[in-house]
Chain A
Amino acid sequence: MEMFLDVLSQLAGGFVTSFLLFILTLILALPLGLLVSFCTMSKFAPLSMLSKLIVWILRGTPLMLQIFAIFYLPGILRLFIWPQMNTGWEWFDTTFSTRFIAALVAFAINYAAYFSEIFRGGIQSISQGQYEACQVLGMSKREAFFKVILLQVIKRIIPPMSNEIITLIKDTSLANTIAVYELIFEAKEFMVIDALIWPLFMAGAFYLLFVGLLTIIFGLIEKKLSYFRS
Protein backbone atom coordinates (compact mmCIF):
# COMPACT_ATOMS: atom_id res chain seq x y z
CA MET A 1 0.00 0.00 0.00
CA GLU A 2 2.81 2.34 0.89
CA MET A 3 4.49 1.48 -2.38
CA PHE A 4 1.23 2.11 -4.22
CA LEU A 5 0.89 5.60 -2.75
CA ASP A 6 4.54 6.27 -3.47
CA VAL A 7 4.07 5.30 -7.12
CA LEU A 8 0.84 7.28 -7.29
CA SER A 9 2.43 10.48 -6.03
CA GLN A 10 5.47 10.03 -8.27
CA LEU A 11 3.25 9.45 -11.31
CA ALA A 12 1.03 12.38 -10.36
CA GLY A 13 4.16 14.53 -10.42
CA GLY A 14 4.99 13.19 -13.88
CA PHE A 15 1.45 13.83 -15.00
CA VAL A 16 1.69 17.47 -13.95
CA THR A 17 4.64 17.82 -16.33
CA SER A 18 2.73 16.02 -19.10
CA PHE A 19 -0.30 18.21 -18.48
CA LEU A 20 1.74 21.41 -18.49
CA LEU A 21 3.35 20.36 -21.75
CA PHE A 22 -0.14 19.61 -23.10
CA ILE A 23 -1.83 22.83 -22.05
CA LEU A 24 1.08 25.15 -22.93
CA THR A 25 1.36 23.46 -26.33
CA LEU A 26 -2.32 24.16 -26.94
CA ILE A 27 -2.03 27.77 -25.80
CA LEU A 28 0.87 28.34 -28.20
CA ALA A 29 -0.11 26.09 -31.10
CA LEU A 30 -3.75 27.15 -31.55
CA PRO A 31 -3.08 30.83 -32.36
CA LEU A 32 0.15 29.93 -34.16
CA GLY A 33 -1.73 27.37 -36.25
CA LEU A 34 -4.34 30.00 -37.16
CA LEU A 35 -1.56 32.37 -38.19
CA VAL A 36 0.12 29.67 -40.29
CA SER A 37 -3.20 28.81 -41.95
CA PHE A 38 -3.57 32.48 -42.96
CA CYS A 39 -0.01 32.42 -44.36
CA THR A 40 -0.76 29.22 -46.28
CA MET A 41 -3.89 30.82 -47.78
CA SER A 42 -2.11 34.12 -48.49
CA LYS A 43 -2.31 35.49 -52.02
CA PHE A 44 1.34 36.57 -51.68
CA ALA A 45 2.97 33.54 -53.30
CA PRO A 46 6.38 33.53 -51.50
CA LEU A 47 4.65 33.58 -48.11
CA SER A 48 2.22 30.79 -48.92
CA MET A 49 4.99 28.71 -50.53
CA LEU A 50 7.24 29.15 -47.51
CA SER A 51 4.53 28.25 -45.03
CA LYS A 52 3.51 25.24 -47.11
CA LEU A 53 7.15 24.13 -47.12
CA ILE A 54 7.37 24.49 -43.35
CA VAL A 55 4.11 22.61 -42.83
CA TRP A 56 5.40 19.86 -45.12
CA ILE A 57 8.62 19.49 -43.13
CA LEU A 58 6.86 19.54 -39.78
CA ARG A 59 4.23 17.02 -40.80
CA GLY A 60 6.68 15.02 -42.87
CA THR A 61 9.25 14.21 -40.20
CA PRO A 62 8.78 12.36 -36.91
CA LEU A 63 8.00 14.57 -33.93
CA MET A 64 10.63 12.63 -31.98
CA LEU A 65 13.27 13.76 -34.47
CA GLN A 66 12.11 17.37 -34.19
CA ILE A 67 12.35 17.25 -30.38
CA PHE A 68 15.83 15.79 -30.72
CA ALA A 69 16.90 18.43 -33.23
CA ILE A 70 15.59 21.38 -31.23
CA PHE A 71 17.26 20.23 -28.04
CA TYR A 72 20.61 19.03 -29.34
CA LEU A 73 21.25 20.73 -32.67
CA PRO A 74 21.94 24.31 -31.48
CA GLY A 75 24.66 23.02 -29.12
CA ILE A 76 26.13 20.65 -31.67
CA LEU A 77 26.30 23.31 -34.39
CA ARG A 78 27.77 25.81 -31.97
CA LEU A 79 30.50 23.43 -30.79
CA PHE A 80 31.20 22.50 -34.38
CA ILE A 81 31.36 26.04 -35.71
CA TRP A 82 33.04 27.77 -32.74
CA PRO A 83 34.83 25.12 -30.68
CA GLN A 84 36.97 27.83 -29.09
CA MET A 85 33.97 29.87 -27.97
CA ASN A 86 32.57 27.49 -25.43
CA THR A 87 31.78 30.18 -22.88
CA GLY A 88 29.38 33.07 -22.85
CA TRP A 89 26.30 31.03 -23.67
CA GLU A 90 24.97 30.74 -20.13
CA TRP A 91 22.04 33.06 -20.78
CA PHE A 92 20.98 31.09 -23.85
CA ASP A 93 21.51 27.77 -22.11
CA THR A 94 19.54 28.59 -19.01
CA THR A 95 16.73 30.24 -20.96
CA PHE A 96 16.21 28.05 -23.99
CA SER A 97 18.08 24.82 -23.49
CA THR A 98 16.09 23.44 -20.65
CA ARG A 99 14.62 20.11 -21.59
CA PHE A 100 11.06 21.20 -20.94
CA ILE A 101 11.30 24.38 -23.01
CA ALA A 102 12.91 22.50 -25.90
CA ALA A 103 10.14 19.91 -25.84
CA LEU A 104 7.49 22.65 -25.59
CA VAL A 105 8.90 24.49 -28.61
CA ALA A 106 8.99 21.27 -30.63
CA PHE A 107 5.43 20.35 -29.69
CA ALA A 108 4.09 23.85 -30.29
CA ILE A 109 5.47 24.19 -33.81
CA ASN A 110 4.67 20.60 -34.76
CA TYR A 111 1.09 20.85 -33.58
CA ALA A 112 0.71 24.34 -35.06
CA ALA A 113 1.44 22.73 -38.44
CA TYR A 114 -1.29 20.12 -37.97
CA PHE A 115 -3.74 22.66 -36.54
CA SER A 116 -3.07 25.04 -39.45
CA GLU A 117 -4.28 22.44 -41.93
CA ILE A 118 -7.42 21.82 -39.87
CA PHE A 119 -8.06 25.56 -39.66
CA ARG A 120 -7.46 25.93 -43.39
CA GLY A 121 -9.95 23.18 -44.19
CA GLY A 122 -12.50 24.75 -41.82
CA ILE A 123 -12.07 28.28 -43.13
CA GLN A 124 -12.25 27.22 -46.76
CA SER A 125 -15.42 25.23 -46.13
CA ILE A 126 -17.33 28.38 -45.11
CA SER A 127 -19.38 29.62 -48.06
CA GLN A 128 -18.28 32.76 -49.88
CA GLY A 129 -21.78 34.13 -49.24
CA GLN A 130 -21.00 34.63 -45.55
CA TYR A 131 -18.05 36.88 -46.40
CA GLU A 132 -20.09 38.73 -49.02
CA ALA A 133 -22.96 39.32 -46.58
CA CYS A 134 -20.46 40.81 -44.13
CA GLN A 135 -18.96 43.02 -46.81
CA VAL A 136 -22.26 44.48 -48.03
CA LEU A 137 -23.19 45.13 -44.40
CA GLY A 138 -20.08 47.26 -44.11
CA MET A 139 -18.07 45.02 -41.78
CA SER A 140 -14.30 45.03 -41.98
CA LYS A 141 -12.53 41.79 -42.92
CA ARG A 142 -11.37 41.50 -39.34
CA GLU A 143 -14.86 41.91 -37.92
CA ALA A 144 -16.22 39.45 -40.47
CA PHE A 145 -13.67 36.84 -39.45
CA PHE A 146 -13.92 37.16 -35.70
CA LYS A 147 -17.66 37.93 -35.38
CA VAL A 148 -19.11 35.74 -38.11
CA ILE A 149 -16.70 33.23 -39.62
CA LEU A 150 -14.66 31.99 -36.65
CA LEU A 151 -17.47 30.41 -34.64
CA GLN A 152 -18.72 28.57 -37.73
CA VAL A 153 -15.16 27.37 -38.36
CA ILE A 154 -14.85 26.23 -34.75
CA LYS A 155 -18.08 24.25 -34.99
CA ARG A 156 -16.84 22.49 -38.10
CA ILE A 157 -13.35 21.70 -36.83
CA ILE A 158 -14.32 20.39 -33.39
CA PRO A 159 -14.32 16.70 -34.47
CA PRO A 160 -10.88 16.71 -36.20
CA MET A 161 -9.51 19.04 -33.53
CA SER A 162 -10.58 16.80 -30.67
CA ASN A 163 -8.80 13.94 -32.42
CA GLU A 164 -5.54 15.91 -32.63
CA ILE A 165 -5.82 17.15 -29.07
CA ILE A 166 -6.40 13.64 -27.73
CA THR A 167 -3.34 12.52 -29.71
CA LEU A 168 -1.38 15.39 -28.19
CA ILE A 169 -1.77 14.29 -24.57
CA LYS A 170 -0.41 10.87 -25.50
CA ASP A 171 2.32 12.37 -27.71
CA THR A 172 3.68 14.28 -24.71
CA SER A 173 5.34 10.98 -23.74
CA LEU A 174 7.74 11.56 -26.67
CA ALA A 175 9.37 14.24 -24.53
CA ASN A 176 11.14 11.47 -22.62
CA THR A 177 13.45 11.23 -25.67
CA ILE A 178 15.30 14.16 -24.18
CA ALA A 179 14.70 13.08 -20.59
CA VAL A 180 11.83 15.39 -19.68
CA TYR A 181 10.47 13.83 -16.51
CA GLU A 182 6.92 13.33 -17.76
CA LEU A 183 4.48 10.57 -16.91
CA ILE A 184 5.98 7.70 -18.90
CA PHE A 185 9.49 8.70 -17.87
CA GLU A 186 8.54 8.48 -14.19
CA ALA A 187 6.79 5.14 -14.73
CA LYS A 188 9.87 3.75 -16.48
CA GLU A 189 12.05 4.86 -13.59
CA PHE A 190 10.15 2.43 -11.38
CA MET A 191 11.00 -0.28 -13.85
CA VAL A 192 14.68 0.65 -13.75
CA ILE A 193 15.04 1.30 -10.03
CA ASP A 194 12.51 -0.97 -8.34
CA ALA A 195 11.97 -3.55 -11.10
CA LEU A 196 8.25 -2.80 -11.10
CA ILE A 197 6.19 -3.11 -14.26
CA TRP A 198 2.74 -2.15 -13.01
CA PRO A 199 3.46 1.60 -12.63
CA LEU A 200 3.62 1.72 -16.42
CA PHE A 201 0.07 0.42 -16.66
CA MET A 202 -0.98 2.82 -13.95
CA ALA A 203 0.45 5.61 -16.10
CA GLY A 204 -1.81 4.30 -18.87
CA ALA A 205 -4.76 4.79 -16.52
CA PHE A 206 -3.78 8.44 -16.06
CA TYR A 207 -3.93 8.98 -19.83
CA LEU A 208 -7.16 7.07 -20.08
CA LEU A 209 -8.85 9.15 -17.39
CA PHE A 210 -7.62 12.39 -18.88
CA VAL A 211 -8.75 11.43 -22.37
CA GLY A 212 -12.13 10.53 -20.85
CA LEU A 213 -12.30 14.04 -19.41
CA LEU A 214 -11.33 15.56 -22.77
CA THR A 215 -13.99 13.48 -24.52
CA ILE A 216 -16.62 14.83 -22.12
CA ILE A 217 -15.41 18.40 -22.62
CA PHE A 218 -15.52 18.10 -26.41
CA GLY A 219 -18.96 16.51 -26.16
CA LEU A 220 -20.14 19.53 -24.16
CA ILE A 221 -18.64 21.97 -26.65
CA GLU A 222 -20.30 20.14 -29.52
CA LYS A 223 -23.60 20.21 -27.67
CA LYS A 224 -23.19 23.89 -26.90
CA LEU A 225 -22.67 24.63 -30.59
CA SER A 226 -25.49 22.39 -31.78
CA TYR A 227 -28.04 25.22 -31.60
CA PHE A 228 -27.09 26.32 -35.12
CA ARG A 229 -26.39 24.61 -38.40
CA SER A 230 -23.98 26.03 -40.91
Chain B
Amino acid sequence: MKKVLVLLLALVMACASFTSCGCQEINDLEKIQESGKLVVGVTVYKPMDYIDEETGEWTGFDAELAQAFAERLGVKCQIVIITWANKVAELNSNQIDLVWNGMTASDELGESIDFSVPYAKNAQVAVVKKGSSLTKDSIKNAKIAVEDGSAGHTVAEETIGATNIAKLTAMNDALNEVKGGTSEVAIIDLTMAESIVGKGEYADLEILSGASYGEEIFAVGLRKGSDLKAELDAFLKEKYADGTLAKLAEKYQVVLNEDALK
Protein backbone atom coordinates (compact mmCIF):
# COMPACT_ATOMS: atom_id res chain seq x y z
CA MET B 1 0.00 0.00 0.00
CA LYS B 2 2.84 2.34 0.89
CA LYS B 3 4.50 1.72 -2.46
CA VAL B 4 1.28 2.50 -4.26
CA LEU B 5 1.07 5.80 -2.38
CA VAL B 6 4.64 6.70 -3.26
CA LEU B 7 3.94 5.91 -6.89
CA LEU B 8 0.77 7.98 -6.89
CA LEU B 9 2.65 10.86 -5.31
CA ALA B 10 5.34 10.62 -7.98
CA LEU B 11 2.63 10.71 -10.63
CA VAL B 12 0.99 13.76 -9.12
CA MET B 13 4.32 15.53 -8.95
CA ALA B 14 5.06 14.58 -12.53
CA CYS B 15 1.76 16.08 -13.60
CA ALA B 16 2.60 19.17 -11.63
CA SER B 17 5.85 19.37 -13.56
CA PHE B 18 3.79 20.03 -16.68
CA THR B 19 3.09 23.42 -15.22
CA SER B 20 6.03 23.77 -12.83
CA CYS B 21 8.15 26.91 -12.60
CA GLY B 22 11.20 25.34 -14.19
CA CYS B 23 13.55 26.94 -11.73
CA GLN B 24 16.22 24.44 -12.66
CA GLU B 25 18.20 24.77 -15.83
CA ILE B 26 18.05 21.75 -18.14
CA ASN B 27 21.21 20.88 -20.01
CA ASP B 28 19.66 20.21 -23.40
CA LEU B 29 22.65 21.50 -25.35
CA GLU B 30 24.93 18.84 -23.92
CA LYS B 31 22.33 16.15 -24.48
CA ILE B 32 21.77 17.12 -28.11
CA GLN B 33 25.46 17.28 -28.87
CA GLU B 34 26.03 13.90 -27.24
CA SER B 35 23.23 12.19 -29.15
CA GLY B 36 24.18 14.01 -32.36
CA LYS B 37 20.63 14.96 -33.26
CA LEU B 38 18.09 17.68 -32.70
CA VAL B 39 14.60 16.19 -32.56
CA VAL B 40 11.95 18.64 -33.75
CA GLY B 41 8.27 17.86 -33.28
CA VAL B 42 5.89 19.06 -35.99
CA THR B 43 2.58 18.39 -37.62
CA VAL B 44 2.12 18.65 -41.35
CA TYR B 45 1.19 22.32 -41.56
CA LYS B 46 1.67 24.39 -44.69
CA PRO B 47 3.58 26.62 -45.11
CA MET B 48 5.55 25.96 -41.93
CA ASP B 49 6.30 22.24 -42.07
CA TYR B 50 5.41 19.92 -44.91
CA ILE B 51 6.95 17.32 -47.20
CA ASP B 52 8.07 18.39 -50.64
CA GLU B 53 6.29 16.07 -53.06
CA GLU B 54 9.20 15.95 -55.44
CA THR B 55 12.10 15.38 -53.07
CA GLY B 56 10.18 13.69 -50.27
CA GLU B 57 12.10 15.91 -47.83
CA TRP B 58 10.75 18.18 -45.14
CA THR B 59 10.40 21.76 -46.21
CA GLY B 60 8.59 24.93 -45.16
CA PHE B 61 9.45 28.09 -43.27
CA ASP B 62 9.93 26.38 -39.92
CA ALA B 63 11.50 23.22 -41.34
CA GLU B 64 14.18 25.18 -43.19
CA LEU B 65 14.95 27.20 -40.09
CA ALA B 66 15.09 24.09 -37.90
CA GLN B 67 17.53 22.44 -40.29
CA ALA B 68 19.70 25.54 -40.30
CA PHE B 69 19.67 25.64 -36.51
CA ALA B 70 20.70 21.97 -36.26
CA GLU B 71 23.51 22.67 -38.67
CA ARG B 72 24.70 25.52 -36.48
CA LEU B 73 24.73 23.14 -33.48
CA GLY B 74 26.66 20.67 -35.59
CA VAL B 75 24.06 17.92 -35.28
CA LYS B 76 21.53 16.11 -37.46
CA CYS B 77 18.01 17.52 -37.65
CA GLN B 78 15.37 14.84 -37.08
CA ILE B 79 11.85 16.04 -37.79
CA VAL B 80 9.11 13.82 -36.34
CA ILE B 81 5.36 14.09 -36.70
CA ILE B 82 3.64 14.34 -33.33
CA THR B 83 0.06 14.52 -32.18
CA TRP B 84 -0.48 18.24 -31.64
CA ALA B 85 -2.45 17.85 -28.43
CA ASN B 86 0.51 15.98 -26.91
CA LYS B 87 3.16 18.61 -27.64
CA VAL B 88 3.81 19.48 -23.97
CA ALA B 89 4.07 15.82 -23.03
CA GLU B 90 6.39 15.20 -26.00
CA LEU B 91 8.70 17.97 -24.78
CA ASN B 92 8.56 17.16 -21.09
CA SER B 93 9.17 13.48 -21.65
CA ASN B 94 12.28 14.21 -23.72
CA GLN B 95 10.80 12.57 -26.82
CA ILE B 96 11.44 15.77 -28.77
CA ASP B 97 13.66 18.80 -28.15
CA LEU B 98 11.69 21.55 -29.87
CA VAL B 99 8.19 22.24 -31.14
CA TRP B 100 8.73 24.26 -34.31
CA ASN B 101 5.43 24.33 -36.08
CA GLY B 102 3.96 27.83 -36.33
CA MET B 103 3.02 27.47 -32.69
CA THR B 104 1.04 30.30 -31.10
CA ALA B 105 2.80 31.50 -27.95
CA SER B 106 -0.18 31.76 -25.59
CA ASP B 107 0.05 32.64 -21.91
CA GLU B 108 -1.48 29.30 -20.91
CA LEU B 109 1.07 27.35 -22.91
CA GLY B 110 3.80 29.59 -21.48
CA GLU B 111 3.12 28.17 -18.05
CA SER B 112 4.16 24.70 -19.17
CA ILE B 113 6.95 25.34 -21.64
CA ASP B 114 9.40 28.06 -22.66
CA PHE B 115 9.24 30.03 -25.90
CA SER B 116 11.93 31.36 -28.19
CA VAL B 117 11.81 34.93 -29.47
CA PRO B 118 8.41 35.18 -31.21
CA TYR B 119 9.59 35.24 -34.83
CA ALA B 120 6.34 35.48 -36.79
CA LYS B 121 2.74 36.69 -36.53
CA ASN B 122 -0.62 35.27 -37.43
CA ALA B 123 -4.33 35.85 -36.89
CA GLN B 124 -7.38 33.65 -36.52
CA VAL B 125 -10.03 33.96 -39.21
CA ALA B 126 -13.55 32.70 -39.71
CA VAL B 127 -14.18 30.44 -42.72
CA VAL B 128 -17.74 30.08 -44.06
CA LYS B 129 -19.48 28.67 -47.12
CA LYS B 130 -19.37 30.97 -50.14
CA GLY B 131 -22.46 33.16 -50.18
CA SER B 132 -23.21 32.56 -46.51
CA SER B 133 -25.35 35.27 -44.90
CA LEU B 134 -23.29 35.19 -41.70
CA THR B 135 -21.41 38.33 -40.58
CA LYS B 136 -18.78 39.02 -37.97
CA ASP B 137 -21.56 39.95 -35.53
CA SER B 138 -23.86 37.03 -36.19
CA ILE B 139 -21.36 34.15 -36.00
CA LYS B 140 -21.59 34.29 -32.19
CA ASN B 141 -24.79 32.26 -32.40
CA ALA B 142 -23.72 30.03 -35.27
CA LYS B 143 -22.37 26.50 -35.02
CA ILE B 144 -18.59 26.91 -34.87
CA ALA B 145 -16.00 24.22 -35.62
CA VAL B 146 -12.46 24.47 -34.24
CA GLU B 147 -9.42 22.32 -33.72
CA ASP B 148 -9.49 21.23 -30.11
CA GLY B 149 -6.91 23.14 -28.08
CA SER B 150 -5.92 25.42 -30.96
CA ALA B 151 -5.73 29.21 -30.87
CA GLY B 152 -8.95 29.25 -32.92
CA HIS B 153 -10.60 27.31 -30.11
CA THR B 154 -9.66 30.02 -27.61
CA VAL B 155 -10.88 32.75 -29.96
CA ALA B 156 -14.23 31.01 -30.47
CA GLU B 157 -14.75 30.55 -26.75
CA GLU B 158 -13.35 33.77 -25.33
CA THR B 159 -13.26 36.46 -28.03
CA ILE B 160 -16.39 35.53 -29.92
CA GLY B 161 -18.09 34.06 -26.88
CA ALA B 162 -19.76 31.32 -28.88
CA THR B 163 -21.52 28.51 -27.04
CA ASN B 164 -22.16 26.05 -29.83
CA ILE B 165 -18.64 24.81 -30.50
CA ALA B 166 -17.63 21.56 -32.18
CA LYS B 167 -14.10 20.57 -31.15
CA LEU B 168 -12.29 18.53 -33.78
CA THR B 169 -8.85 16.94 -33.80
CA ALA B 170 -7.48 18.90 -36.77
CA MET B 171 -8.12 22.19 -38.55
CA ASN B 172 -9.04 20.23 -41.66
CA ASP B 173 -11.76 18.47 -39.71
CA ALA B 174 -13.14 21.91 -38.82
CA LEU B 175 -13.15 22.83 -42.53
CA ASN B 176 -14.79 19.51 -43.38
CA GLU B 177 -17.56 20.33 -40.91
CA VAL B 178 -18.30 23.57 -42.74
CA LYS B 179 -18.03 21.93 -46.13
CA GLY B 180 -20.35 19.14 -45.04
CA GLY B 181 -22.79 21.58 -43.44
CA THR B 182 -22.59 20.16 -39.91
CA SER B 183 -21.07 23.46 -38.75
CA GLU B 184 -21.48 26.95 -40.21
CA VAL B 185 -18.16 28.53 -39.29
CA ALA B 186 -14.61 27.27 -38.82
CA ILE B 187 -12.09 29.33 -36.88
CA ILE B 188 -8.60 28.52 -38.18
CA ASP B 189 -5.17 30.05 -38.75
CA LEU B 190 -4.91 32.78 -41.36
CA THR B 191 -1.80 31.21 -42.85
CA MET B 192 -3.55 27.89 -43.27
CA ALA B 193 -6.76 29.48 -44.56
CA GLU B 194 -4.87 31.42 -47.21
CA SER B 195 -3.12 28.34 -48.46
CA ILE B 196 -6.13 26.02 -48.87
CA VAL B 197 -9.51 27.78 -48.54
CA GLY B 198 -11.12 28.54 -51.91
CA LYS B 199 -9.06 25.83 -53.64
CA GLY B 200 -9.49 22.16 -54.42
CA GLU B 201 -11.64 20.29 -51.96
CA TYR B 202 -12.45 23.57 -50.22
CA ALA B 203 -13.29 25.60 -53.37
CA ASP B 204 -16.76 26.41 -52.06
CA LEU B 205 -15.46 27.99 -48.82
CA GLU B 206 -14.26 31.53 -48.18
CA ILE B 207 -12.70 33.63 -45.46
CA LEU B 208 -15.37 35.81 -43.84
CA SER B 209 -14.27 39.39 -44.43
CA GLY B 210 -13.63 41.50 -41.36
CA ALA B 211 -13.75 38.49 -39.04
CA SER B 212 -10.09 38.46 -38.05
CA TYR B 213 -9.20 38.04 -34.41
CA GLY B 214 -6.39 39.03 -32.11
CA GLU B 215 -3.03 38.86 -33.67
CA GLU B 216 -0.94 36.08 -32.31
CA ILE B 217 2.74 35.46 -32.31
CA PHE B 218 4.58 32.34 -33.36
CA ALA B 219 7.44 30.96 -31.32
CA VAL B 220 9.47 27.78 -30.99
CA GLY B 221 8.57 25.73 -27.93
CA LEU B 222 11.26 24.43 -25.57
CA ARG B 223 11.35 22.52 -22.30
CA LYS B 224 10.95 24.85 -19.33
CA GLY B 225 14.41 25.91 -18.22
CA SER B 226 16.18 24.55 -21.30
CA ASP B 227 19.64 26.02 -21.90
CA LEU B 228 18.88 25.81 -25.62
CA LYS B 229 16.81 28.99 -25.47
CA ALA B 230 19.75 31.43 -25.45
CA GLU B 231 21.31 29.64 -28.41
CA LEU B 232 18.04 29.60 -30.35
CA ASP B 233 17.24 33.28 -29.73
CA ALA B 234 20.70 34.31 -30.85
CA PHE B 235 20.27 32.19 -33.98
CA LEU B 236 16.91 33.76 -34.88
CA LYS B 237 18.16 37.33 -34.36
CA GLU B 238 21.25 36.64 -36.40
CA LYS B 239 19.19 35.21 -39.27
CA TYR B 240 16.94 38.25 -39.14
CA ALA B 241 19.89 40.60 -39.19
CA ASP B 242 21.48 38.94 -42.23
CA GLY B 243 18.21 38.99 -44.19
CA THR B 244 17.69 35.19 -44.31
CA LEU B 245 14.40 35.41 -42.44
CA ALA B 246 13.02 38.06 -44.78
CA LYS B 247 13.82 35.86 -47.79
CA LEU B 248 12.14 32.83 -46.22
CA ALA B 249 9.13 34.94 -45.22
CA GLU B 250 8.66 35.99 -48.78
CA LYS B 251 9.10 32.47 -50.11
CA TYR B 252 6.52 30.98 -47.75
CA GLN B 253 4.23 34.01 -47.26
CA VAL B 254 4.82 34.32 -43.54
CA VAL B 255 4.56 37.61 -41.65
CA LEU B 256 7.67 38.27 -39.53
CA ASN B 257 7.35 39.70 -36.03
CA GLU B 258 10.00 42.33 -36.63
CA ASP B 259 9.67 44.14 -33.28
CA ALA B 260 10.93 41.12 -31.38
CA LEU B 261 13.66 40.16 -33.80
CA LYS B 262 15.37 43.55 -33.87
Contact = CB atoms under 8 A, between A and B. Distances in A.
A226 interface: no
B30 A195 contact: no
Contacts of B11: 73
A75 interface: yes
Contacts of A75: 92-95
A195 B43 CA distance: 15
Interface in A67-108: 68, 71-81, 83-84, 86-87, 89-90, 93, 97
The main secondary structure of chain A at its interface with chain B is: helix
Contacts of B43: 192
B14 A77 contact: yes
B13 interface: yes
A93 B24 CA distance: 22
B94 A93 contact: yes
Contacts of B172: 191-192, 195
A71 B196 contact: no
Interface string B216-243: 0000000101000000000000000000
Interface-central residue, A74, A84, A179, by most chain B CB under 10 Å: A179
25 contacts: A72-B86, A72-B95, A73-B14, A73-B93, A75-B94, A76-B17, A77-B14, A79-B92, A80-B17, A80-B20, A86-B26, A86-B27, A86-B30, A86-B31, A93-B35, A179-B82, A189-B81, A191-B170, A191-B172, A192-B45, A192-B170, A192-B172, A193-B46, A195-B175, A197-B201
A176 B83 contact: yes
Given A72-B93, A86-B94, A193-B50, 11 more contacts: A71-B95, A75-B92, A76-B14, A79-B93, A83-B25, A178-B86, A191-B170, A191-B173, A195-B175, A195-B201, A197-B176
Nearest to A94: B35
Contact of A79 (B26, B80, B86, B201): B26
For this complex, into which size category does the number of interface residues on chain B fall?
A: 35 or more
A196 B93 contact: no
Interface string B150-162: 0000000000000
A77 B13 CA distance: 9
B142 interface: no
A111 interface: no
A79 B94 contact: yes
Contacts of A191: 170, 172-173, 176
Nearest to B169: A188
Contacts of A84: 24, 27
B57 interface: no
Given A76-B17, A178-B86, A87 B30 contact: yes
A75 B53 CA distance: 34
Interface string B21-56: 000111110110011000000011110001100000
Contacts of B249: none
B13 A80 contact: yes
B81 A179 contact: yes
A94 B158 CA distance: 42
A114 interface: no
A135 interface: no
A76 B14 CA distance: 6
A74 B93 CA distance: 7
B148 interface: no
Contacts of A97: 95
B200 A195 contact: yes
Contacts of A177: 83, 86
Contacts of B13: 80
B58 interface: no
A72 B173 contact: no
A181 interface: yes
B229 to A, nearest CB: 14
A79 B173 CA distance: 35
A77 B10 contact: yes
B175 A76 contact: no
A76 B186 CA distance: 35
Interface in B186-209: 196, 200-202
Contacts of B93: 71-76, 79
